[in-house]
Amino acid sequence: MDSVRNPFAPGAGSRPPELAGRDAIIEEATVAIQRALLGKSVRSQMLLGLRGVGKTVLLNKIEDIAQQAGHVTTSAEVREKQRLSDLLAPRLSQVLRRLSLVESARRQAHAALRALRSFVSVFKLSYGEVNVSVDAEAGVADSGDLESDLTDLFLRIGEAAQAADKAWTLLIDEIQYLCEDDFAALIVALHKINQKELPVVFFGAGLPQVAGLSGDAKSYAERLFLYSAVGALDSEDAKRAIRQPVEAEGEVITDAAIDEIIRQTRGYPYYLQEWGYQCWERADEGQPIEAAHAARATIEAIRRLDEGFFNVRFERLTPKEREYVLAMARLGAGPYRSSDVADALGETHQSLGPRRAQIINKGMIYSPGHGDIAFTVPMFDEFLMRKYPPAQ
Ligand SMILES: Nc1ncnc2c1ncn2[C@@H]1O[C@H](COP(=O)(O)OP(=O)(O)O)[C@@H](O)[C@H]1O
Ligand SMILES: [Mg+2]
């Protein structure tokens, strides 16, 4: 069919043609956004799931909803090894500039900008973009302790949003890349805001390991966040994710073709889009997409995933780390006992600790439970077995 009309072609922000199966999460977020505007207490939401399940798409959707409802929004994605202060400072300055344009909030926004100024200098953030053209306020957000300074800053921003009769939505993606101290500081700051009932809502997204915090941060987090698991779509939703976009283009796809797609993708959103794309490319204009097209799509989709999605991630691992993940894959489908991986490599569980930790830090594997380990990319084990077939 005409590639120009292919509804599964990757577009801006990886927005899917049909956002299937996420109504409950969207509804929950919408309610929080509206409650914040009414000055009512809200719960922060944390979306956790593997790679390619649609977390970023959801955060984008939630940001749209918040903006339409009249929130000012700040969205950011943490990069590996990035500090929270680096990530937030320039973005907070933007949001405060916007709030300072509202007459009723000018004074509070200014106060918040002064707090930001202190924050920037105490954390030695060298940003042309921040360029906060106000004097620092002594004693606010300048202790050098991220936990209390971030709290000061968030409180000021919340007060400015309140004075503007607005609310502030903060969205942070790839939360698992925050170091433990930064994550703890974020949690404490959000917790304090919550107690003051300021109009601030937080949405985070990350790999499932984010739930594995320790100490005080953990007990705070459990009260603070509503955790939502984002996973593969169930069969009804997966069918809709494929059928709806095809039919919206005036074309038809058979049940048998859809069954093949679901069997191959197991309902994982990223893979559904890939298979949908390939099916469309293989079918003829005005003729139904059939099982035979889907079968050919499977071959092409797997080839493309192996070369792209899977391989770029594999390439980021060192030779030693590759050995480790290969040993995992050879044990079959996960999760795996880390002691079994150690046995397979002829090493001890302890000696492999640092290597395992590095692969976790790279976001390739995570620990779903004590002593267990699993891939963060669905079906990564199958990719590795294709790439390194067992000796005959
Ligand atoms: N609910 C959904 N239904 C159909 N496709 C989806 C859905 N959510 C995400 N996708 C598609 O899956 C892919 C991965 O989404 P993304 O948000 O980048 O995943 P993540 O951030 O979890 O890695 C994108 O191509 C997106 O269009
Ligand atoms: Mg993402």
Residues 134 and 196 in one domain: yes
The ligand 1 atom nearest the CA atom of 268:
12
Residues 46 and 109 in one domain: yes
Q: What local confidence, expressed as pLDDT, does residue 200 receive?
A: 96
The reply to whether 1 falls in a domain is no
pLDDT, tens digit, 9 for 90 and up, residues 366-388: 999 889 999 999 999 999 999 99
Residues 209 and 166 in one domain: yes
The ligand 1 atom nearest the CA atom of 230:
22
Mean pLDDT of the chain, nearest integer:
92
* Ion ligand 2: residue ranges with CB closer than 5 A: 56
Q: What local confidence, expressed as pLDDT, does residue 213 receive?
A: 66
Range of the domain at 353: 316-387
Query: 287 C-alpha to center of ligand 2: Å?
Result: 35
Residue identifier of the C-alpha nearest atom 17 of ligand 1: 54
* Residue 378 CB–ligand 1 contact under 6 Å: no
Q: What local confidence, expressed as pLDDT, does residue 132 receive?
A: 56
pLDDT, mean of residues 283-296: 95
The ligand 1 atom nearest the CA atom of 173:
21
Query: 215 C-alpha to center of ligand 1: Å?
Result: 33
Percent of the chain at pLDDT > 70 equals: 95
Residues 178 and 209 in one domain: yes
Burial category of 129 from C-beta neighbours within 10 Å (exposed 0-12, middle 13-18, buried 19 and up): exposed
Query: 271 C-alpha to center of ligand 1: Å?
Result: 9
E strand intervals along 17-108: 44-48, 71-77
The reply to whether 276 falls in a domain is yes
* Residue 204 CB–ligand 1 contact under 6 Å: no
**Residue 365 in this model has a pLDDT that exceeds 90:** yes
* Residue 62 CB–ligand 1 contact under 6 Å: no
Q: Which CATH number does the domain housing residue 334 bear?
A: 1.10.10.10
Is there a contact between 212 and 369 (Cβ–Cβ < 8 Å)?
A: no
pLDDT, mean of residues 213-228: 80
* Residue 239 CB–ligand 1 contact under 6 Å: no
Helices 269-282, 291-305: axis angle to 10 degrees equals 120
Query: 57 C-alpha to center of ligand 2: Å?
Result: 7
| β-strand partners of 76 | 172
Q: What local confidence, expressed as pLDDT, does residue 221 receive?
A: 83
Q: What local confidence, expressed as pLDDT, does residue 219 receive?
A: 79
pLDDT, tens digit, 9 for 90 and up, residues 160-196: 999 999 999 999 999 999 988 899 999 999 999 989 9
- The structure's pTM equals 0.93
Residue identifier of the C-alpha nearest atom 8 of ligand 1: 54
Q: How many domains does the chain have?
A: 3
Percent of the chain at pLDDT > 90 equals: 79
Query: 13 C-alpha to center of ligand 1: Å?
Result: 10
Q: What local confidence, expressed as pLDDT, does residue 130 receive?
A: 54
The reply to whether 8 falls in a domain is no
Nearest residue to 295 via CA among 266, 256, 268: 256
Residues 113, 116: Cα–Cα separation, whole Å: 5
Nearest residue to 46 via CA among 187, 219, 236, 232: 187
pLDDT, tens digit, 9 for 90 and up, residues 35-78: 999 989 899 999 999 999 999 999 999 999 999 999 999 999 99
Query: 51 C-alpha to center of ligand 1: Å?
Result: 9
pLDDT, mean of residues 292-301: 97
Residues 245 and 224 in one domain: no
